[in-house]
Amino acid sequence: MKIRLVKTFRFEAAHSLPTFPEGHKCRRLHGHSFRFDVAVEGDVDPAKGYLIDYGDIKRICDPIVRQLDHYHLNEIDGLSNPTAEMIAKWLWDHIKPQLPLLAKISVYETCTSACEYEG
C-alpha cells in the first residue's frame, strides 16, 4: 500500500526580497508566521502497519526550524533572496539527505499563499 504522510512545522521570521522592484512592499523588511509541510511517500511496511514514525520526521526537522525561527532569513547561508520558492528548495536540500522518503515541501508565507516543491 503506497501512502503519503504530511507533518506541519511553523516558524516566525523576517525577510526582505531584494529582487523585487523598488517600492514594492516585499522589498522592505517584514515578517511572516511561516508554515511548512513535509510530505513523505512510500510503501507501508505490512509487518508494522505504518510508513514512518511522525516523531522521526520531527526529530529531523526540529533543528532546521531552530535555524529559521526568529531570525532574519536573508542572513542565513543560502537564503540571501528568501522567496517562498527559495525557502522551499533550501528546506528540501536540508531535509532530503536525512529523510529519503521526502516527496514534497510546501511553504506557506501567508494563510492564502503557498509554494510547493518536489525536488
For residues 8-24, give the mean pLDDT.
96
Strands 71-72, 114-117: parallel, antiparallel or unpaired by DSSP?
A: unpaired
Residue in 12, 24, 70, 116 annotated catalytic: 70
At residue 84 the predicted structure's pLDDT band, cuts being 50, 70 and 90, is very high
Place of cell 526540529: 62
At residue 54 the predicted structure's pLDDT band, cuts being 50, 70 and 90, is very high
> Known catalytic residue: 15?
no
The residues spanned by each domain of the chain are 2-117
Q: Classify residue 24 by burial, with Cβ atoms within 10 Å: 0-12, 13-18, 19+.
A: exposed
CA distances 108 to 8, 31, 37, 40, 56, Å, are 10, 13, 8, 18, 22
Q: What percent of the chain has pLDDT over 70?
A: 100
> Known catalytic residue: 26?
yes
In whole angstroms, what is the distance from residue 112 CA to residue 118 CA? Answer: 20
In this prediction, residue 33 carries a pLDDT of: 97
Whole-structure pTM value: 0.95
pLDDT in tens, 99-108: 999 999 999 9
Domain 2-117 -> CATH class: alpha beta
